[in-house]
Amino acid sequence: MAQINEIFGSLVFDERTMKAVLPAKVFASLKKTIDEDTPLDPSVADVVAQAMKEWAVAKGATHYTHWFQPMTGVTAEKHDSFITPAPDGGVLMEFSGKELIKGEPDASSFPSGGLRATFEARGYTAWDPSSYAFIKGKTLCIPTAFCSYSGHALDKKTPLLRSMEALNKQALRILKLFGNDTVKNVRTSVGPEQEYFLVTKEMYDKRLDLKMTGRTLFGSKSPKGQEMDDHYFGVIKPRVAAYMEDLNDELWKLGIFAKTEHNEVAPAQHELAPIYETTNIATDHNQLTMEIMQKTALKHGLVCLLHEKPFAGVNGSGKHNNWSMSTNNGQNLLSPGATPYENAQFLLFLCAVIKAVDDYQDLLRLSVATAGNDHRLGANEAPPAIISMFLGDELNAVLDAIENDKPYTDVIKTKMKLGVDILPPISKDTTDRNRTSPFAFTGNKFEFRSLGSSNSIACANIMLNSAVAESLQIFADKLEASSDFENDLHALIKETIKEHKRIIFNGNGYDNAWVKEATEVRGLSNYKTTPDCMPHLLDEKNVTMLTKHGVFSKAELESRCDIMLENYCKSVTIEANTMVAMANTQLAPAIDKYVGDLAERAATKKSIDPSIASSYETTLVKKLSSLTDAIYTKTDELKGEIIALGEADGIIPESEAIRDKVLPKMGELRALCDEAETLTAKEYWPFPNYADLLFGV
């Protein structure tokens, strides 16, 4: 069996491979592009392409593709073979620098939110050299950005790269104010923890709702769920362990740093966590991880469910986005350091994040908004829809000392002019964790816990990077004009704490009292659903900030608002149609058959003993007959609401109708069917129940 260090990255055209196969000058030029974001020298492209092709062909590749991330939420690829005709009737294996740098997929069938007309097909993909090419199957995959003929971003990678550059630009200004002129770039890094469920393929195939929507639309509660807390970190079942082992091997071959694996809280739920990487690479790797998780599961007779709430009544799945900022020489800007100036620098970057989260809480909320995640946020398994920050007792004490000009009362060594004693090293375990907080400081990073398990992490990090870039720009503008840096720095940090401390909350986010305090006292937003929050993308302050930093154009923002609301509407409409189909063609007939058999048995009993006025069968027939009638009625009502959506005047009214009319009808229909399930003999029920699904692996 191959060792991990032998297989890790074996299918990746990474720095080790590039250094081995490229001429020294070409490698140096490409590495400078990767490390310093300098423009790619066109003269090196052909050399890189030739070496990349030879490496890939030696690994068994026959095709290449520009691998990109359109607004569908999944990845896209168009495969072209390396072959080209040879004069003697044979073929040559060729791959040019032009083919490496730019591709031209058909852009007409991808979501564009009105940026493109259907007949306008031309689109371009552009190589992202900072994300290594890799081999998947027999195809060389080249990570790329995707844009329209007119230059509008049609993907999630382009604005992500723009947001990273915006933050880099402003962070460098701040570092120079602290005398650091040697840093060449500041990059954000992310470690996305990925939660998921595993069910057997055999049971999955019997559930139309799972196949169509990724979640169960019907299902009464299992007699046992997660009440005993025995699944979390429990012994991993052999079948699941075999899956995890195979998954690790596949991910390691692709250079993905799969690190931690364990059982999660709900039965059949698990988690995979990687090591931190630069944000755009982490985004690529998370998209790959989700794809490989699902493909690998099928090899084991399993299906990997990535929906945020595949089962009612047990925990759903999230994706915790652990985010930080670091310099190219390895300094984490969210680590306090050991000297007064390092402390002050840390506090300024910390304040930039505090201000960003407060000023743009709406952008963070809508960046994680999907139909699936609406079921998860606010339940006792995920953070509430209200965005707040958790800093812990130690940092709270530091900020309180600064705000009120009083000594910091921990270990006192030397006092700095900033007004706070030198901070002790703040380790990862200095404070307890707050699992109810959407945005928690965990030592040298922030954990954004609101993302759903199927989400691309690009959206959340675009908004986070951009908002922090805005805070840093405001800080840099003020401090660069200062004639007394230390006094003005102290005043700026103190002012920021006072203005934005409302966003800091260290208590229980599930407490109803917090909702009242957050909205009525602190003035924080509480957007419970996607239709509530998504239109705020186009609020003037958000458009101004995002366009100023070049992350989006106004047209791109308008298109994304339409695309995300359209995705919401389509997702729920598919669910509603699936419910109608299942109720009409599976559930009602199954209940009717059981009722008929019960009635026949009741009649038989009465024929044997006419004195029997009532029986178990008779009582059950009455209950189920009443439920069946109600199910038919609610199914027709739901169908009527679906039809009425066609009369909505625009995507916002349609999304509001789904929120206010369709989803409540779906809930009413489900309640009736789930009650009927508890009264119907198992052999009559047309598909596996929750106990089968959750405990069947």
In the chain, where the domains are located: 4-154, 163-552, 567-694
The model's pLDDT over 449-489, given as tens digits with 9 standing for 90+, comes to 999 999 999 999 999 999 999 999 999 999 999 999 989 99
Q: What is the pLDDT of residue 443?
A: 82
Rounded Cα–Cα distance for residues 420 and 403 (Å): 10
By CB atoms closer than 10 A (0-12, 13-18, 19+), residue 379 is: middle
- Read off the pLDDT of each residue in 133-162 and give the average, rounded to a whole number: 91
71-104 residues labelled b (16+ CB within 10 A) or e (exposed): bebebbbeeeebeeeeeeeeeeeebebebbbebe
Q: What is the DSSP letter of 614?
A: -
Of the listed ranges 66-80, 176-190, 196-210, the one predicted with least confidence: 66-80
426 pLDDT exceeds 80? Answer: no
Of the listed ranges 124-133, 191-200, 601-610, the one predicted with least confidence: 601-610
321 pLDDT exceeds 80? Answer: yes
- DSSP H helical segments within 59-101, as ranges? 97-101
Q: What is the pLDDT of residue 424?
A: 56
Give the phi and the psi of residue 305 in degrees, each rounded to 5: -100, 120
411 pLDDT exceeds 50? Answer: no
Residues 6+ apart with CB under 8 A from 662: 572, 573, 576, 638, 641, 642, 645
416 pLDDT exceeds 70? Answer: no
Confidence of residue 428 (pLDDT cuts 50, 70, 90): very low
Q: DSSP of 623-643, one letter per residue?
A: HHHHHHHHHHHHHHHHHHHHH
Confidence of residue 106 (pLDDT cuts 50, 70, 90): low
Q: Which pair of structure tokens corresponds to residue 579?
A: 């419910």
Q: What is the pLDDT of residue 415?
A: 53
Neighbours of 376 (CB within 10 A): 23
Of the listed ranges 135-149, 308-322, 454-468, 654-668, the one predicted with least confidence: 135-149
Q: What is the pLDDT of residue 117?
A: 54
Residue with tokens 């755009």: 280
Rounded Cα–Cα distance for residues 354 and 187 (Å): 18
- Read off the pLDDT of each residue in 360-378 and give the average, rounded to a whole number: 95
Residue with more model confidence, 156 or 107: 156
Report the DSSP pairing between strands 277-278 and 63-67: unpaired
Confidence of residue 311 (pLDDT cuts 50, 70, 90): very high
Most confident by average pLDDT, 82-91, 160-169, 334-343, 436-445? 160-169
Of the listed ranges 79-83, 291-295, 418-422, 493-497, the one predicted with least confidence: 418-422
Rounded Cα–Cα distance for residues 150 and 107 (Å): 11
Fold of 163-552: Creatine Kinase; Chain A, domain 2 (3.30.590)
- Let me know: does 594 contact 684? Beta carbons within 8 Å: yes
Is the pTM above the cut of 0.85? yes
Amino acid at 616: Y
49 pLDDT exceeds 50? Answer: yes
Rounded Cα–Cα distance for residues 691 and 697 (Å): 11
Amino acid at 671: A
Rounded Cα–Cα distance for residues 544 and 541 (Å): 5
Nearest Cα to Cα of residue 145 among 127, 162, 131, 163: 127
Rounded Cα–Cα distance for residues 531 and 568 (Å): 8
Q: What is the pLDDT of residue 617?
A: 86
413 pLDDT exceeds 60? Answer: no
CA torsion, points 500, 504, 509, 512, in degrees to nearest 10?
Answer: -50
Residues 6+ apart with CB under 8 A from 598: 617, 620, 621, 624
Confidence of residue 418 (pLDDT cuts 50, 70, 90): low
3-class secondary structure per residue, 303-347: EEECCCCCCCCCCCCEEEEEEEEEECCCCECCCCCCCHHHHHHHH
- Read off the pLDDT of each residue in 4-17 and give the average, rounded to a whole number: 94
HSE-CB for 509 with a 13 A CA cutoff? 29
Rounded Cα–Cα distance for residues 56 and 53 (Å): 5
Rounded Cα–Cα distance for residues 71 and 568 (Å): 13
Residue with more model confidence, 462 or 40: 462
Q: Which pair of structure tokens corresponds to residue 553?
A: 């154009």
Confidence of residue 86 (pLDDT cuts 50, 70, 90): confident
Look at residue 568 and give its three-state secondary structure.
helix
Q: What percent of the chain has pLDDT over 70?
A: 92
By CB atoms closer than 10 A (0-12, 13-18, 19+), residue 556 is: buried
Of the listed ranges 264-268, 420-424, 689-693, the one predicted with least confidence: 420-424
Residue with more model confidence, 123 or 308: 308
CA torsion, points 500, 501, 503, 509, in degrees to nearest 10?
Answer: 180
Question: What ranges make up the beta strands (E) of 30-150?
Answer: 63-67, 79-81, 83-85, 91-93, 102-103, 123-127, 134-136, 139-148
3-class secondary structure per residue, 484-503: CHHHHHHHHHHHHHHHHHHH
Q: What percent of the chain has pLDDT over 90?
A: 72
Rounded Cα–Cα distance for residues 420 and 312 (Å): 49
Look at residue 566 and give its three-state secondary structure.
helix
Q: What is the pLDDT of residue 208?
A: 98
The model's pLDDT over 205-248, given as tens digits with 9 standing for 90+, comes to 999 999 999 999 999 999 998 888 888 899 999 999 999 999 99
CATH of domain 4-154: 3.10.20.70
Nearest Cα to Cα of residue 343 among 265, 412, 281, 424: 424
Q: DSSP of 129-180, one letter per residue?
A: TTS--EEETTEEEEEEEEEETTS-B-BSHHHHHHHHHHHHHHHHHHHHHTT-
Fold of 567-694: Four Helix Bundle (Hemerythrin (Met), subunit A) (1.20.120)
Report the DSSP pairing between strands 63-67 and 139-148: parallel
1 pLDDT exceeds 90? Answer: no
Q: What is the pLDDT of residue 92?
A: 74
Of the listed ranges 306-315, 341-350, 629-638, 654-663, the one predicted with least confidence: 341-350
Residue with more model confidence, 611 or 352: 352
432 pLDDT exceeds 60? Answer: no
Q: What is the pLDDT of residue 430?
A: 47
497 pLDDT exceeds 70? Answer: yes
